[in-house]
Structure formats: structure tokens, C-alpha cells
Structure 1
């Protein structure tokens, strides 16, 4: 029987801290997915993140690739570049941008809902709007609703409806502003 080297305490500690092949693959895949999120971003938001030069260029190049195989390889390359840097600031910046987009979408949908409810005849909603946005003018809202209803009745383009939406958006943004 050959003599095997004995394992000592430092060898067992090393084996505990070493990552398995599966764990390494999962991390590589998550970095590729992070790269995909970066590729899908508009250029002005991408500039705000402050990516290292090589990764920024790789992401910009990936946006121009049409071939599926080449795109996949580029994503793997971006993942490999990401393994060399600390990705926590990039993930935080991405999450902040995406949360801001989500909040804006919710606000837009809420304002759209207000307009539709007002045009459907829900006059109690004006009170709710005034509670949320104390700077709103009850008379102006009522006038805009009446104008929009008249336009709808005469089958005119919904100009007043758009004006009502803009007014509601403006008072909502003033309320939740800086």
C-alpha cells in the first residue's frame, strides 16, 4: 500500500473554503445575467452606472450583435470580465435605476386611472386627489373633466383628456417632488 499524505487541519480548512464546480458555474451564470441586464439598458442610464472601460465597451459591442451564438459568447465574455471586479456597486446602481422606473410606472398608471375614473363620472375621486395633492385646484379639475366629456360627446379628438392627464401628472409630481 502506498503511503498517502496525511491531511492536517489546514488542508480540511482549505477544502471547506474552496468553491465547488457547481457554485462557480452558478456565480458565472449570475454575472452573465447581470451583463444581460446591462445590455438591455438605454445608453444614458448605462453611462450613469460608471462601468470600467473594458466592460463598458463589451456591453456596447453586445448591443450591436445580431447572431445568437455570437451574442451568447459575448455574454460569457462580459461575465468573465465581471469576475475580475467587485460587482456590488454595479448591482446596487442597477437596482436603484430599475426601482425608479418601477415607481414612475406605478405613478403613471395611478394618474391614468384617476383620469379614466374622473371621465367615468367618479366625482368623489376629486376629494381623494385633493387629499393626496393639496395644491390641486378642484375647480380646474372639474372644468377639465367637463371639457373632456363634451369633446367625447361630440366625437372630437381627446385633447382635453390629455390636458387633464398632464395637469394630474404635474400636481402629482409636485406633491412627490424633491
Structure 2
């Protein structure tokens, strides 16, 4: 029972409903952590004390036992500081935003590849306007080879290489810097 302050009449703590909502939020966060791959998990600021519980929940496949382990993980997480849990949530949100950006970039590259194969020189001219550093001759040769592969039912080697070339073109210097910063931070964490 949370009680009231006798002088002011205000309640002395959060209600049971609020406590339950907070506990369910922590449980949902625990489920997200268990669903991550070990590589993704290593990029998050998860305390070392929680890692064995997360791995154990990942290992258990029986429904009820898995649910029980998730509840135990949530209990351990509630013992952590609120700031720690907020840092984990923020890092998860940043990761999901990054993955959305990556997916959007992949879709844009795929559309370029389809346009290049369907429209030919017109699409290539537009691509070169957007990415002047692109090698026109190399792209033309790849497009010609990809069309030939399709006609002869050969493996799509040039088709895949077009995608790789476009991905390199779409990569910005900021992407490279962000990747290096993340690698540097990961190396510092390991030391």
C-alpha cells in the first residue's frame, strides 16, 4: 500500500497500476534484447551482469520455461538504474533508425539497378549526373553483361556486381566516418 502524506494529502509513491506498466515496459525491453543477435547486443550498453541472463533466455526454447526466464531477466533489469535502462532504449532506437536508413538505401540502389537495366543510356546519364565519380565504361560493360546473362540463363554475376558498384557510389563520406567512429568506440569498450 502506497499511503498518503498526512500533512499534504499527496500519495507517497507510484500506484500499483503505474508500477505494473513500468514492469511490463522492462519485460518488453528484455524481449527485444533476447531477440537481438550477439553482435547487435554487443553494440548496446548492456551491463555485464545481464548478459548471462539474456543468453540463457535465448538458449531456452520451451515456451513456459522461456517465458519464466524472460520474467527473471526483467526482474534483474529492474534492479538496474533507470539511467542504464534509458541508455539501452536510446541505443535500440538509434539502431532501429539506422537499420531503416540502410533498408531505404538498399531499396534506392535496387531501383537504380532496375532502371539501368530497363532504360539503358537514359538512366545511366541520370545516374552519372547524380554520381559524377561513377565509371561510365565499367557500368556500361556490367549492364551489357547482365543483359547477356539474363538472355542466356547464366548466373547473375554482373547483375550482382552492378548492385555492389551502386552501393559504393551511394555510400557517403559521413557513412564511412560513422562506421569508423562505431568501430573505434567498440574497440575502446573491449580495452
1:3 matched to which residue of 2? none
Larger mean CA deviation between 23-32 and 142-151 belongs to 142-151
Per the alignment, residue 19 of structure 1 pairs with: 14
The answer on 1:69 being equivalent to 2:61 is no
CA distance in structure 2 between the partners assigned to 1:92 and 1:66 by the alignment? 28
In the alignment, the residues of structure 2 paired with residue 164 and residue 143 of structure 1 have an alpha-carbon distance, to the nearest angstrom, of: 10
Inter-partner Cα distance in structure 2 for 1:158 and 1:123 = 21
How far apart in 2 are the matches of 1:132 and 1:22? Answer: 55
* RMSD (Å), alpha carbons: 2.0
Residue in structure 2 matched with residue 164 of structure 1 by the alignment: 162
Report how many residues are paired: 169
How far is the alpha carbon of 1:30 from its aligned partner? 0.8
Which structure 2 segments of 5+ residues have no match?
178-191
Shift in CA distance, 145/62, structure 1 to aligned 2, threshold 3 Å: same
- Give the TM-score normalised by structure 1: 0.84
Task: Give the Cα–Cα distance (whole angstroms) in 2 for the partners of residues 66 and 134 of structure 1.
Answer: 52
TM-score, normalised via structure 2 length: 0.79
Higher relative contact order (CA 8 A, sep 6+): 1
Residue 48 (structure 1) shift: 2.1
Q: Tell me the residue number matched to 2:186.
A: none
Structure 2 equivalent of residue 28 of structure 1: 23
Paired position in structure 2 for 1:177:
176
Deviates more, 1:83-92 or 1:26-35: 83-92
Contact 2:116 2:123 in 1 (8 A): yes
Q: Comparing 126-135 with 37-46, which one deviates more in the overlay? A: 126-135
Gaps of 5+ in 1: 1-5
